[in-house]
């Protein structure tokens, strides 16, 4: 059946009056439901301003040092970066008061200190000290 067109009537159109409203509602929906990943940085508990110095026995301190050439030392003995976690887990089992001191040479790459810190955190060391070596 053929449609009859009247010559004086405009062709039918879909109203676009509410398009802006729909776009606004979609924008609000996506903004309110989007989840952004949060960067937490390095989660460390830092001492307060009135912190006191504490005397620690040498047997309770294990020093990890990042040298300028990228090598890692544990109490002046060279070690591989990926062996730190296992070694620390063993040390922490034998000494619950162990403090891990991470010393970084001033010329060492920042990433090396972060790599060492990641291994220490993976070993679940509860006491960590970070300092920059003179050099």
Q: pLDDT for 41-50, tens place per residue? A: 666 666 666 6
Residue 96 has pLDDT above 70, yes or no: yes
Domain ranges of the chain: 59-133
Q: Per the structure block, which two tokens stand in for 119?
A: 């291994």
Q: What mean pLDDT do residues 66-86 have?
A: 89
**CA-based torsion, 116, 117, 119, 120: positive or negative:** positive
Residue 40 has pLDDT above 60, yes or no: yes
Question: pLDDT value at position 24?
Answer: 93
C-alpha distances in angstroms, 47 versus 24, 44, 70, 119, 129?
48, 10, 29, 22, 11
Q: pLDDT for 98-130, tens place per residue? A: 888 888 888 888 888 888 888 988 888 888 888
Cα–Cα distance, 48 to 118 (Å, whole number): 24
- Measured N-to-C along each axis, helices 84-94 and 110-122 cross at an angle, to the nearest 10 degrees, of 50
For domain 59-133, the CATH class is alpha beta
């Amino acid at each position: 059946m053929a449609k009859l067109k009247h010559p004086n009537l405009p062709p039918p159109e879909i109203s676009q009056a509410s398009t802006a409203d729909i776009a606004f509602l979609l924008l609000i929906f996506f903004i309110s439901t989007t989840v952004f990943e949060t960067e937490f940085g390095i989660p460390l508990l830092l001492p307060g301003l009135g912190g006191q110095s504490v005397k620690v026995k040498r047997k309770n301190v294990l020093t990890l040092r990042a040298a300028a050439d990228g090598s890692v030392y544990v109490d002046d003995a060279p070690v591989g970066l990926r062996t730190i976690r296992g070694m620390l887990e063993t040390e922490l089992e034998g000494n619950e008061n162990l403090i891990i001191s991470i010393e970084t040479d001033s010329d060492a790459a920042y990433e090396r200190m972060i790599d060492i810190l990641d291994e220490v955190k993976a070993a679940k060391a509860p006491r960590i000290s970070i300092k920059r070596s003179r050099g």
